[in-house]
Amino acid sequence: MIRLALALAALLALPLSPAAAAPRATAKAAAARDWTRTVVPTAEGGFRMGNPAAPVKLVEYGSLACPHCRHFEETGYKPLVQNYVRSGKVSYEFRNFLLNAPDVSISLLAHCAGPAKFFPMSEVVFATQPQWEDKIAQLSADDKAEIDKMAIPQRIARLAEVGGFNQLAGRFGVSPARARQCLADKKGLDRLLDITKAAQDAGVHRTPTFLVNGKVIDAATWEEVEPELKKALGG
């Protein structure tokens, strides 16, 4: 409990299927299924897109405030989804690894949007990352000092306001009232902190960090991740 409190304090400091024909029919149906439409929350706290029985499971520990994660989103997300996840060969799970105070606010709202909207919203969060980070960075010294004096729930809400996160979440069905509720949700905050702490305890200390079938791979870009997927698929 003490470690979680310390972690939160550090994060919130402003930084910056007929008999013989059945198998053939089943295989055809399976091949036609679009697995990108299947998104579920996981026991580990993330969101998984794809076939739960996929032979290859890719997990990303990433931060919505991380520029390297944004680069993977911009260059690797579409080929990953279109060429591997859609067919059911690979499942893709994103687990939030909190980096800083704005990351806490936007991650709470992305989770608030729910499984079906998490990945579409994350795409927009990454695409607009430079803009909302700049808004927060341009806060005056007096504004930063004032935010630092706020209680944690107020601080989280204030940063969401400055970054325009509530309006962004509204594009994905999160009403203003629901946004305020999610930003003040202690259980939601604790879940995010638990994901981050579990990752750190497992030796994850950078974003993005990728796991293929439970093992950390030495890769941070799509050019490095794709060969690992092909290898795991036997290609």
> How does pLDDT run across 87-144, given as a tens digit for each residue?
999 999 999 999 999 999 999 999 999 999 999 999 999 999 999 999 999 999 999 9
- C-alpha 4/C-alpha 101 separation (Å) is 15
Would you say residue 69 lies in a domain? yes
Question: What is the dihedral sign for C-alpha 126, 185, 45, 210?
Answer: positive
Note the pLDDT tens digit of each residue in 16-66.
533 334 444 444 444 579 999 999 999 999 999 999 999 999 999 999 999
- What's the mean pLDDT when you consider all of the chain? 91
Would you say residue 145 lies in a domain? yes
Would you say residue 71 lies in a domain? yes
Q: The CATH number of the domain where 174 resides is what?
A: 3.40.30.10
- C-alpha 95/C-alpha 113 separation (Å) is 15
Would you say residue 27 lies in a domain? no
3-state class (DSSP) for residue 70? helix
Would you say residue 49 lies in a domain? yes
Would you say residue 14 lies in a domain? no
- C-alpha 12/C-alpha 103 separation (Å) is 9
| Pairing mode of beta strands 56-62, 90-96 | parallel
Would you say residue 188 lies in a domain? yes
Would you say residue 23 lies in a domain? no
Full domain range(s) for residue 143: 36-232
- C-alpha 85/C-alpha 57 separation (Å) is 10
- C-alpha 69/C-alpha 222 separation (Å) is 11
